[in-house]
Amino acid sequence: MSFKIDHFALLKSIPRKKHREIIQLNCIHLPFIGKDIWTLYELSWLNNNGLPQIAIARIEVNITSINIIESKSFKIYINSFNQIKFDHYTTFIKILELDLTKCVCGKVSITLFNLNEIKKQNISEFYGICIDKQDVQVTSYKYNPSLLTCSSNHSIIEESLYSHLLKTNCPITQQPDWASIQIIYSGQKIDHTALLCYLISFRSCNEFHEECIERIFNDIENVCKPEKLTVYARYTRRGGIDINPWRSNTTFSPCLIRMARQ
C-alpha cells in the first residue's frame, strides 16, 4: 500500500523572537546582519528511472526570517525524499525552497554541489590568532558574560581571534554541539584569556546554534563595545548536517570553508 507523504509537516520551526527577547536584543532594529548557513551531506532522491541521485546542498537562511529550523526535524524532512522520483533535480530544489521558505517565514537560497566539486574543497582554517593554547586554569563551566574584559589601554586595534573549544548543548536532545568560532573586531583590545574562559563557560549552555552566536555577539558588544564586530561559527556535523551562523555589524563575506572537524 502506498501513501502520500506530507513532507512539510515534518519540519519544526523555532521562533527567533523568544530568545532575542531573553538576551534583550532590539528585535525591530537588530544590531547585526547575518545568515545561517546549513550544509546537507546526506541529500538523495530518485530520477525517473529509479536510479538514486546524491548531492551536497548549501542552504542559506537570512536572519530576518521569523523562525529557525529545528535540525532533527530538518534531517527527517530531508530523508523523506530518499525514495521520491523527480524528473529533474530542479523540481526537487523548488520544493525544498518552497517548504523551507514557508517554515522560516523568510528568504532561503539553495545551492547544490556534486561530489566532484566537493572533492576539490581543501580542509581550511580560520585566519587570525588561535586563543586556545593558553596557560589558564578553568574552574567553572557555567555561562558567565562577566568573564569578558578589555585592556586598560584605550588604543583601537583590529584583530581576528578564533577558538576550537566552543561547546554548547541542544536544548531538545541535550546532545553536545561542537564548534570553531571566529571573532573579528575593531576596538579596545579584548583580553584573550578572558575571552577563552568566556567561550568555555558555554559548555553547559542549552541553546540552538543560531541563538548561541547571537548571545556571544550581544555579550561582546555590550561589554567590550567594539566599533566593528563579527562572530562566525562553524559547527561540526551531526546527522549529516552542519550549521554555520554568522552575525556582523559591518561588511562581511564569510569564507565558506570546510574545517578539519567538518
60-87: string of b/e by CB count within 10 Å (b at 16+)?
bbebebebbbbbbbbbebbebbeeeebe
Per-chain mean pLDDT for the chain: 94
Least confident of 8-22, 110-124, 199-213: 110-124
As its CATH architecture, domain 129-248 has 2-Layer Sandwich (3.30)
Catalytic residue among 99, 130, 132, 170: 170
- Residue in 23, 39, 22, 31 with CA at minimum distance from that of residue 244: 39
Residue ranges of the chain that CATH labels 3.30.1130.10: 8-119, 129-248
Question: In the structure, what pLDDT confidence band is assigned to residue 4 with cuts at 50, 70 and 90?
Answer: confident
Catalytic residue among 177, 205, 224, 242: 177
Please state whether 248 falls in left (phi above 0), alpha (psi between -120 and 50) or beta.
Answer: beta
Q: What are phi and psi of 40, to 5 degrees?
A: -105, 115
Hey, which residues does 230 pair with through a beta bridge? 184, 248
Q: Which three cell numbers stand for residue 10?
A: 515534518
Query: Which pLDDT does position 9 carry in this prediction?
Result: 97
132 is catalytic: no
Distance of alpha carbon 62 from alpha carbon 98, whole angstroms:
15
Torsion angle (degrees, nearest 10) of CA 13, 206, 72, 15: 0
Question: In the structure, what pLDDT confidence band is assigned to residue 262 with cuts at 50, 70 and 90?
Answer: confident
Query: Which pLDDT does position 2 carry in this prediction?
Result: 44
177 is catalytic: yes
Query: What is the arithmetic mean of pLDDT over 21-39?
Result: 96
Please tell me the class of the 8-119 domain: alpha beta
Segment 209-230, tens digit of pLDDT: 999 999 999 999 999 999 999 9
β-pairing, 176-188 with 228-235? antiparallel
Question: In the structure, what pLDDT confidence band is assigned to residue 1 with cuts at 50, 70 and 90?
Answer: very low
